[in-house]
């Protein structure tokens, strides 16, 4: 087995969890059609695409092309995409947490009213 195949097999430990997160976010968004689901799916989807590049495409490209300037430009673009994907996921997660806290507070207030 050559080095590229070993690298790809070794990197599956990063690929499978990210794929699981993307799947869960997509199911959440499709079922509930909420803005938090959209941001969670957008963030995890972009992160997944960046991860695919880093795990599978980058190692092959670095061996085939000698012009490193293009690789560094692409890495810079992907770093910006990675930042925005993280921010989208954080925004979606924050909206989800705030929504759940609001529901929890309302539920707690209703229980207190029934006690009095």
pLDDT tens-place string over residues 30-43:
999 999 999 999 99
Given a cut of 90, whether residue 6 has pLDDT beyond it is no
Residue 19: CB atoms within 10 A of its CB come to 15
Which residues constitute the domain of residue 18? 3-115
Tell me the pTM. 0.78
In the chain, the number of structural domains is 1
- pLDDT tens digits for 80-116? 999 999 999 999 999 999 999 988 877 767 766 666 5
What's the angle, vertex CA 50, arms to CA 47 and CA 52, rounded to 5? 110
- Average confidence (pLDDT) over 61-76: 74
What's the angle, vertex CA 77, arms to CA 29 and CA 92, rounded to 5? 25
């Amino acid at each position: 087995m050559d080095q590229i195949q070993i690298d790809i097999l070794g990197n599956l430990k990063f690929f499978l969890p990210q794929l699981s997160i993307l799947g869960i976010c997509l199911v959440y968004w499709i079922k509930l059609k909420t803005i938090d689901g959209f941001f969670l799916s957008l963030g995890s989807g972009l992160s997944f695409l960046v991860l695919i590049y880093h795990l599978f495409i980058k190692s092959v490209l670095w061996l085939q092309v000698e012009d490193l300037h293009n690789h560094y430009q692409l890495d810079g673009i992907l770093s910006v995409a990675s930042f925005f994907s993280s921010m989208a996921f954080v925004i979606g997660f924050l909206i989800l947490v705030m929504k759940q806290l609001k529901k929890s507070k309302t539920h707690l207030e209703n229980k207190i009213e029934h006690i009095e």
